[in-house]
Amino acid sequence: MKIDLHVHSTYSDGIHPPRKLVEMAIGLGLAAISITDHDCLDGTEECATAAYQNGLEVISGVELSCEFKERDLHVLGYGVDPDDQRLQGMLKRFRDTRLERGFKIIEKLRSLGVHLDTEEVLAKSRDGALGRPHIAKALLENGYVDNYSEAFERYIGEDGPAYIKKYKLHPREAVSYIRSAGGLAFIAHPTNSLKDANELLELIAIGFDGLEVAHPNQTEGERAELEAIAKDYDLLASGGSDYHGFAGKDIPMGVPEIPYEFLERIKQRLG
Ligand code: AMP
Ligand code: ZN
Ligand code: FE
Ligand code: FE
């Protein structure tokens, strides 16, 4: 039995709604999935309803934007109560500040002679967290750039003239919010964000429950190393495709292969 514990929906920057992701997972023969939208839990209920009707298992998930050592770090939360007030309050702050930031980026673009319609950009993120991918799409569709990457290179990438930082948590806060909502906190794709094993150990000491040992950006060798570290520190393992549905760029759902055993252990620890 295979599973996928890292999938994005239209409630963040994925292109498919939760219902469609559930259908796809069933088509691929997966036993369970988790929708882990960026800073948003709103897709969870729709996913759970669709999955229940179709006999697919789901575990609630979220991917929180954090900063650690001045770099982006993503923290995954599994098994959180989607109605937890403290967590929802924090997610609302994420959403509000993302909206303000989106408006500021559109303003900056305007001062550079690039005129995007705010409503049009908002419509692209109708379900959830407004982000640079939505603005990149609008730039592309309005002919300001020739392709998606160019939007980041010329305008909204970290070194671009219209870039604005977004609100991020310290990993310690992320762990706290996830735990107090009854969930378990995992370091997402550790090799993306961390320089070396020392940084990883420093982060683990904050109080994480697990590591995402398998992700398309990680080699087989890295997976083995991460699995060994997880074992040494009595941490859980998770993994998934980080599927967004981006044409031509994404690894499909269900890749790399994740054993059901990962979820079994997570559920055991959740109690
Ligand atoms: P945001 O959370 O609004 O800052 O947007 C971050 C997202 O933008 C990432 O998850 C990527 O999907 C996308 N992104 C960031 N930088 C680039 C880039 N240079 N090229 C393509 N996509 C990017
Ligand atoms: Zn994403
Ligand atoms: Fe991520
Ligand atoms: Fe992700």
Return the exposure string of 83-96: e unless at least 16 CB atoms fall within 10 Å of the residue's CB, then b. Answer: ebeebbebbeebbe
- Taking a C-beta distance cutoff of 8 angstroms, is the pair 225, 211 a contact? no
Residue among 8, 13, 100, 156 whose CB has most ligand 1 atoms within 8 A, to mutate: 13
The mean-pLDDT minimum among 27-31, 46-50, 243-247 falls in 243-247
Which H or E run contains 2? strand 2-7
Residue among 62, 132, 139, 149 whose CB has most ligand 1 atoms within 8 A, to mutate: 132
Higher pLDDT, 151 or 124: 151
63 alpha carbon to ligand 3 midpoint, in Å? Answer: 7
- Taking a C-beta distance cutoff of 8 angstroms, is the pair 62, 179 a contact? no
d(CA 42, CA 51) in angstroms, rounded, equals 15
Does residue 82 have a cis bond before it (omega within 30 degrees)? Answer: no
Check residue 131 and give its pLDDT: 87
Q: What is the arithmetic mean of pLDDT over 241-270? A: 94
- Taking a C-beta distance cutoff of 8 angstroms, is the pair 239, 214 a contact? yes
d(CA 104, CA 98) in angstroms, rounded, equals 10
Q: What is the arithmetic mean of pLDDT over 122-142? A: 88
Q: In which residue are the tokens 């930031």 written? A: 101
Give the model confidence (pLDDT) of 174-199 as tens digits. Answer: 999 999 999 999 999 999 989 899 99
Pocket of ligand 1 (CB under 6 A): 13, 131-133, 149, 152, 157, 166
